Amino acid sequence: MKEKKILVFAGSARAASVNKKLAIAASKIAEESGAEATCIDLADFPADIYNGDEQAEKGIPDSIRKLKQLMAEHDGFIVVCPEYNGHITPLLCNTLSWASRSENDEKTMIAFAGKKAAIMAASPGKLGGVRVIPRLRDTLAELGVMVVPGFVTLPNAMQAFDETGTLINDAAAANAKTVIERLIQTL
Ligand SMILES: Cc1cc2nc3c(=O)[nH]c(=O)nc-3n(C[C@H](O)[C@H](O)[C@H](O)COP(=O)(O)O)c2cc1C
């Protein structure tokens, strides 16, 4: 049977991002659970803050065209997002806004149509970014992505990885496995 393909990305471009570390850990869990995981860094897909005038003048940035293509080629997503004042980050919002735009005779929402996702958050705080979870679920749902039940939060994230980047919060790792296996079953 063909392996299910999962695209994994975090809503932070920060070099030392704990959400990027969680995305990498989630990719490993997805691979161990039998999926093919591609972990990307949104820093490699830069785009100006969305402005319709810019799209009308210059079209969709090449970086976003590449990202949309990648998204379309995968069956599902794992989206890991920091909580900024309870919300998703400007980076994730901007990237998803650009990715929702179509051009020429392209099918609408080609990057999102029929996709399933698992959602996660990491924070240095005690609540693990839990307040972003419903916002992230809604954002993806509005784009046509079905988010599987459950979610992962990683509190005290600065202490949650060892020097090799391994997730050493056993409860979060076990929860991530459950949610990722659930995602894979739906693909
Ligand atoms: C503008 C801003 C707002 C933030 N708001 C929250 C918040 O609401 N809850 C929280 O737990 N952490 C909040 N933080 C702290 C982030 O969780 C922390 O900077 C985290 O390391 C960001 O994720 P990253 O390491 O993946 O970049 C905020 C940080 C910034 C810059």
**Mean pLDDT per 10-residue segment, the chain (187 residues):** 90 98 98 98 98 97 98 98 98 98 92 98 98 98 98 98 97 98 98
pLDDT of the residue at 137: 98
Helices (H) and strands (E) in the chain, counts: 6, 6
Going from the N-terminus, what domains does the chain have, and what CATH number goes with each?
5-186 (3.40.50.360)
Does ligand 1 lie within 6 Å of residue 123's CB atom? yes
Integer distance in angstroms from the first to the last C-alpha of the chain?
A: 12
Tell whether pTM > 0.85: yes
pLDDT of the residue at 93: 98
Does ligand 1 lie within 6 Å of residue 129's CB atom? yes
pLDDT of the residue at 2: 67
Does ligand 1 lie within 6 Å of residue 95's CB atom? no
